C-alpha cells in the first residue's frame, strides 16, 4: 500500500508540464515531508534541455508559469552547440552552473554489466566533482526573488536528478518519493526519442548509438546514492552542510518550498 501511495503522489496529473519539444519538464510540488508539510506546486521545476523551447504554444505555456530564474547545469560546450533558454523572449535571471567539465559522451567511462552500477558510479563522481556547483544552485533557489524557478541539464536526468534529490531530501522529502520522482525520467527519455525520430534525426541517431546505460533512470540507483550519503554523512542535510550549504539556506528553502501545515494556518 505504501508504494502505491508513493506512486499515486509521484504520478499526480499536475506533475508533468506537457510541452511539444521539451519532454521532461515537471513540477516538484505535492511531495510530503517528515515535518508534515507538502512541497508547493508551481514553485520549483526540473527539466531537460530548455534550448529546444521555441514553439509558440510551448513558449506561452512556460510564460504562464511566471519563472523568475533558470539554472542551466550543462557544460559550456553543450550551451555553445545546443543553445540556451530563450532569455530574449522570456525574461528571467539566468544562471549557468556547470556541474561537470565534460559529459559522459565526451570522455571514456567504465563499462559495467549493470546499468544501476554505472549510474551509481556516475553519480558518485558527479557529487565529488560538482559539489560546489550543487551548493551554489541551492543558494540561488533559497532566494525568494528566484522563485518560481526551473533547473535543467540535457536530459533532465543525471545532473538535474542529483540536484533535485539534494534539495528534496534537505527539506524532508523521503527517499521513496525522491527515487520514484527520478524514475519518471524513464518515460521522458522515450518521449524524447520518439520526438527526435521525427524532428531531429541526428539526435535520434546519437541516442540509438550511445550505451544504453547513458539513458537509464533506474530508481534503485538514486536510492543507493541517497543511502550512501546518509551512511557516510549521517543525513543528506549533513552532506549539503559539508559542501557549503548553510543551515540558514536550507531553512530558507523549507520556508519557500513548503506549504504551511493545516495546523500552522489556523
CATH for 33: 3.90.190.10
pLDDT recorded at residue 262: 61
The pLDDT tens digits for 146-158 are 999 999 999 999 9
pLDDT recorded at residue 110: 76
Task: Judge whether 93 lies within some domain.
Answer: yes
pLDDT, averaged per 10 consecutive residues of the chain (266 residues), comes to 82 97 98 97 98 95 98 96 96 97 75 91 96 98 98 97 98 98 97 96 93 94 98 98 98 97 55
pTM of the model: 0.95
Residue matched to cell numbers 533558470: 70
Task: Judge whether 263 lies within some domain.
Answer: no
pLDDT recorded at residue 263: 47
Please name which of 205, 229, 204, 30 lies closest in space to residue 126, comparing C-alpha atoms: 229
Task: Judge whether 24 lies within some domain.
Answer: yes
Which element (helix H / strand E) includes 4?
A: helix 2-10
Q: How many domains does the chain have?
A: 1
Task: Judge whether 265 lies within some domain.
Answer: no
According to DSSP, residue 16 is labeled: B
Task: Judge whether 266 lies within some domain.
Answer: no
pLDDT recorded at residue 98: 97
pLDDT recorded at residue 243: 98
Task: Judge whether 157 lies within some domain.
Answer: yes
Quote the domain boundaries for residue 99.
2-256
Task: Judge whether 261 lies within some domain.
Answer: no
pLDDT recorded at residue 106: 65
Task: Judge whether 264 lies within some domain.
Answer: no
Amino acid at each position: 500500500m505504501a508504494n502505491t501511495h508513493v506512486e499515486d503522489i509521484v504520478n499526480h496529473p499536475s506533475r508533468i508540464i506537457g510541452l511539444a519539444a521539451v519532454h521532461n519538464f515537471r513540477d516538484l510540488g505535492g511531495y510530503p515531508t517528515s515535518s508534515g508539510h507538502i512541497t508547493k506546486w508551481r514553485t520549483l521545476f526540473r527539466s531537460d534541455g530548455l534550448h529546444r523551447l521555441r514553439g509558440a504554444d510551448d513558449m506561452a505555456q512556460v510564460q504562464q508559469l511566471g519563472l523568475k530564474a533558470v539554472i542551466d547545469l550543462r557544460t559550456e560546450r553543450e550551451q555553445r552547440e545546443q543553445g540556451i533558454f530563450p532569455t530574449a523572449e522570456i525574461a528571467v535571471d539566468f544562471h549557468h552552473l556547470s556541474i561537470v567539465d565534460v559529459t559522459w559522451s565526451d570522455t571514456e567511462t567504465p563499462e559495467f554489466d549493470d546499468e544501476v552500477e554505472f549510474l551509481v558510479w556516475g553519480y558518485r563522481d558527479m557529487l565529488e566533482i560538482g559539489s560546489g556547483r550543487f551548493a551554489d544552485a541551492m543558494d540561488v533557489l533559497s532566494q525568494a526573488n528566484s522563485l518560481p524557478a526551473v533547473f535543467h541539464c540535457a536530459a533532465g536526468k543525471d545532473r538535474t536528478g542529483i540536484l533535485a534529490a539534494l534539495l528534496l531530501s534537505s527539506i524532508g522529502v523521503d527517499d521513496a518519493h525522491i527515487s520514484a520522482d527520478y524514475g519518471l525520467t524513464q518515460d521522458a527519455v522515450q518521449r524524447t526519442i520518439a520526438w527526435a525520430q521525427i524532428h531531429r534525426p541526428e539526435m535520434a541517431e546519437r541516442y540509438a548509438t550511445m550505451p544504453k546505460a547513458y539513458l537509464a533512470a533506474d530508481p534503485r540507483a538514486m536510492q543507493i546514492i541517497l543511502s550512501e550519503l546518509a551512511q557516510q554523512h549521517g543525513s543528506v542535510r549533513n552532506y549539503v552542510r559539508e559542501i557549503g550549504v548553510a543551515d540558514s539556506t536550507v531553512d530558507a528553502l523549507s520556508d519557500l518550498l513548503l506549504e504551511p501545515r493545516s495546523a500552522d494556518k489556523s
